[in-house]
Chains A and B, each alone.
Chain A
Amino acid sequence: MMSAAPDHSPTFARLTLIDRLGRAAPYLLVPVLVVLGFLAIGAPTSWLTLTVSGLAMGMMIFIMASGLTLVFGLMDIINFGHGAFISLGAFVGVSVLFALPGWTDAASLPLNIAAILLAILAAMVLTGALSWVFERVIIRPVYGSHLKQILITVGALIVLEEAIHVIWGGEEIFLIRPSELRGAITFAGAALEKYRILAVVLGLAIFFALRVVLRRTKIGLIVRAGVENPDMVEALGYRLKLVFIGVFIAGSALAGLGGVMWALYEQVITAGMGENMMVLIFIVVIIGGLGSVEGAFVGALLVGLLQNYVAFLEPKLALISNIALMTAILLWRPEGMMRVAKGH
């Protein structure tokens, strides 16, 4: 009853070695940079300390950037207000830590970690909830207009920073890490800060969790397809706007999480800390490829490692190292390392 078609022969061309290397190149950049760092620094202990520090910094930047890249890729929204969620997450998280001195000062790693997790949870819940209002009030009226998005989200960033000043005061707030996460361990003669190791572990866990959600679940399929061709996802029957709101809330909650981790990394918080991070975050999002979580991950590691290596080798160049990295990558791949195909 049904007609069978001829079995059309495959049309794949055999990939050349250069093509294969080109595809794998972004993933190879991190180990290449680590090796170059080793050769340039010379001293293995210094190199190991800087590498762990760079990876920790990169992981935290990735956590803050992952939501922004998905929001940009999925709905073409440029959200400078993202920085305010980082600051807000830091202030909420630090407030929770200050409220739990018995847990943070105890010589117990489980209690210390529990305090941090509670701080992260509070920061994520609050920034996630606030981002829902932010999307409805600030973002929704300016869909489709980048100029308006930039103007209104920069305005919202300023308002939220001032709100932080009103609630927590205008001064810097200093904090001390929970007792068991202070100091360093010695490994192969190198001093590795305990908190940085925790940051690397947590960052990796979040990266793999995001990958599982994006690669193994239906909602992940919808998000990945929506980044490529939102109209077609709608035409298949999915309400992409609801998905977008979910991604926006999750991305802002991750910014809040990143804010708590960055606060514990720097051990000082200010209302403008998120705004200051936005330059690095945008660099990561752009060099990774707009909408690519994997690209943001690789980009964040490159930024973190390069900044640490260059600051050690030639401190004056540290300020421009990441701009130079972005320039070099965009000259090589103008749409970022892992460009996400756009269907329209």
Chain B
Amino acid sequence: MSDPILTLDAIATDIAQYHILKGVGFQVPRGQVTMLLGRNGVGKTTTMRTIMGLLRNKSGQIRFDGQEIGALPASARARAGIGYVPEDMGIFTDLTVEENMHLAAVSGAPDQARLDWLFSVFPPLKTFWRTSAGNLSGGQKQMLSIARAMIEERRLYLIDEPTKGLAPAIVATMVGALRDLKRQGASILLVEQNFAVARALGDKVVVMDDGHVTWEGDMGELATDTGLQERLMGLSMEAG
């Protein structure tokens, strides 16, 4: 395997008095989609927020492209090339779609060719360009959230449950967009509860439970072993 884009080593993170991450360690290979799976409340979102720098790890190391980033603020990690789509989408509802996109283009005005590509992937963004983001539907907000992370090329995308609560047609749009991103060689760490989506996109799987990584391996191995699925997550991917 080539050198990983991201390496987590024994990460421990607390939220208030609660120990959420208790020594999380895994690698995200360059140019692949790594699925972070596990039941609700096992620490997946905390892991994403810790990588992004929105939560501080009290111990352990986070290496991004070979550089230790654990002491950097979230803004510096973003500028280093990490794009983040939070679980709650993080849309600025008082801003228009256009303003949300312009804000996400940190290095200047958005590149028109990339914008055209995003319009082709997410047509509603063009339709509602001048509309307040607070007026969009849930699916449209999720499109905006992902498009915002993709408006500039990033070296790693952290995407937290992009299909949560969405209608099947919009889930298909999301999967299509992430496939496009994958085809372009992007490295993605994706939290996903929908196993069908996970299987469609994932190259590698990291399974978490109670603040630890309990399994790390290829998606092919997990997808074909229902016993392993049930043992790791209590669910069969066949159900998805």
- Contacting pair B78 A2 (CB below 8 A): no
Whether B120 sits at the interface, judged by CB under 8 Å, is yes
Chain A residues whose CB sits within 8 angstroms of the CB of B120 once the complex forms: 2, 4
Q: Kindly state whether residue A225 has any CB partner on chain B within 8 Å.
A: yes
Are the C-beta atoms of A225 and B121 separated by less than 8 Å?
A: no
B40 interface hit (Cβ, 8 Å) = no
A4 & B84 in contact (Cβ 8 Å cutoff) = no
Q: Decide if A235 touches B103 in the complex (CB within 8 Å).
A: no
Is A343 touching B88 in the complex (CB atoms < 8 A)? Answer: yes
User: Taking CB as reference atom, which chain A residue is nearest B169?
Assistant: A6
Q: How far is the CB of B197 from chain A (nearest CB, A)?
A: 15
Given contacts A221-B95, A228-B94, A343-B88, contact A5 B122 (CB under 8 A): yes
Contact residues, A81-109 vs B (CB, 8 A): none
Interface string of A1-31 (1 = CB under 8 A from B): 1111111101110000000000000000000
User: Is A236 an interface residue when CB atoms closer than 8 A count as contact?
Assistant: yes
State whether A232 touches B173 (Cβ < 8 A).
Answer: no
Residues A329-344 near B (CB distance < 8 A): 340-341, 343-344
Q: Which residues of B contact A218 (CB under 8 A)?
A: 102-103
Q: How many residues of A contact B (CB 8 A)?
A: 33
Q: B124: CB under 8 A from chain A?
A: yes
Whether the pair B92, A224 counts as a contact (CB closer than 8 A) is yes
Q: Is the CB of B173 within 8 A of A5?
A: yes
- Provided the pairs A235-B54, A235-B84 are in contact, do residues A225 and B127 lie with their beta carbons within 8 angstroms? no
- With a 10 A CB-CB cut-off, give which of A2, A218, A239, A344 has the most chain B CB atoms: A2
Given contacts A11-B137, A218-B102, A225-B95, contact A235 B86 (CB under 8 A): yes
Q: Min CB distance, B234 to chain A, in Å?
A: 31
Residues on A with beta carbons closer than 8 Å to the beta carbon of B91: 343
Contacts A221-B102, A235-B84; is A11 near B117 (CB within 8 Å)? no
Residues on B with beta carbons closer than 8 Å to the beta carbon of A238: 75, 106
Does A266 sit at the interface, judged by CB under 8 A? no
Within 8 A of A (CB), among B105-120: 106, 117, 120
Q: Chain A 197-237, CB within 8 Å of chain B: the 1/0 string? A: 00000000000000000000010011011011101111111
- Whether A306 sits at the interface, judged by CB under 8 Å, is no
- Give complex CA distance A329, B121 in Å: 45
Q: Which of B11-19, B174-182, B185-193 faces chain A?
A: B174-182
Counting residue pairs across A and B whose Cβ atoms lie within 8 Å, the total is: 110
In chain B, positions 53-106 with a C-beta closer than 8 Å to chain A are 53-54, 73-75, 78-79, 84, 86, 88, 90-95, 99, 102-104, 106
**How far apart are the CA atoms of A112 and B166 in the complex, in Å?**
64
Cα A240 to Cα B75 in complex, Å, equals 8
Nearest-Cβ distance from residue B227 to partner chain A, whole angstroms:
34
Verify A237–B106 contact, CB threshold 8 A.
yes
Cα of A232 to Cα of B73 in the assembled complex, Å: 12
Task: Check B90–A229 contact: CB distance below 8 A.
Answer: yes
Instruction: Let me know if A3 and B176 touch, CB within 8 A.
Output: yes
Q: Is A3's CB under 8 angstroms from B180's CB? A: yes
Residue of B92, B170, B180 near A229 (CB, 8 A) is B92
Q: Does B134 contact A (CB under 8 A)?
A: yes
For the complex, what is the distance from the CA of A5 to the CA of B176, rounded to whole Å?
Answer: 8
Q: Which residues of A contact B79 (CB under 8 A)?
A: 237
Minimum distance in angstroms from A323 CB to a CB of chain B: 29
- Residue ranges of B at the interface with A (Cβ–Cβ < 8 Å): 52-54, 73-75, 78-79, 84, 86, 88, 90-95, 99, 102-104, 106, 117, 120-124, 127-128, 134-137, 139-140, 148, 169-170, 172-173, 176-177, 179-180, 183
Given contacts A6-B169, A12-B135, A228-B95, 19 further A-B contacts (CB under 8 A): A1-B183, A2-B117, A3-B121, A4-B121, A4-B123, A5-B176, A6-B123, A8-B124, A221-B95, A221-B99, A225-B95, A231-B74, A231-B90, A232-B86, A232-B90, A234-B53, A236-B75, A237-B106, A343-B91
Q: Which residues of chain A have a CB within 8 Å of any CB of chain B?
A: 1-8, 10-12, 218, 221-222, 224-225, 227-229, 231-240, 340-341, 343-344
Can you list 27 pairs linking A and B with CB atoms under 8 Å apart?
A: A1-B180, A2-B120, A3-B177, A5-B123, A7-B123, A7-B124, A8-B123, A10-B127, A12-B135, A218-B102, A224-B95, A228-B93, A228-B95, A229-B92, A231-B74, A232-B92, A234-B53, A234-B54, A234-B73, A235-B54, A235-B86, A236-B75, A236-B104, A236-B148, A239-B73, A240-B75, A343-B92
